Amino acid sequence: MDSYIVRVYRRGKGDSSEEVAGLVEEVGTNQRSSFNSLIGLITTIRQVIGRSNTEVADVQELHAKKDAAVNE
């Protein structure tokens, strides 16, 4: 079983997903990947666990729908 540590930091105030940043670390190795948005976090996790980047567009679409619902 693989283990990972996800460190998430807020960079500012507000509800924007662009306000997060952090690292995804694979336990037992020196491999670290950084991210600076919610989409970046999801993309980074998918890369670390070996999933395809082709699903990133789906994540961006869901994020856009969430933002539109919040703004209504």
pLDDT digits (tens, 9 = 90+) for 33-48: 999 888 888 888 888 8
Is the pLDDT assigned to residue 23 strictly greater than 80? yes
State the total domains in the chain.
1
How far is the C-alpha of 20 from the C-alpha of 36, rounded, in Å? 6
Structural domain range at position 45: 4-71
Statement: the pTM of the whole predicted model exceeds 0.95: no
Is the pLDDT assigned to residue 24 strictly greater than 80? yes
Confidence of residue 7 (pLDDT cuts 50, 70, 90): very high
How far is the C-alpha of 30 from the C-alpha of 52, rounded, in Å? 22
Which SS3 state, helix, strand or coil, does residue 5 take? strand
pLDDT at 68: 65
The CA distances from residue 54 to 25, 49, 58, 64, in Å, are 22, 14, 8, 17
Is the pLDDT assigned to residue 57 strictly greater than 70? no
Are 39 and 21 spatial neighbours (Cβ–Cβ below 8 Å)? no
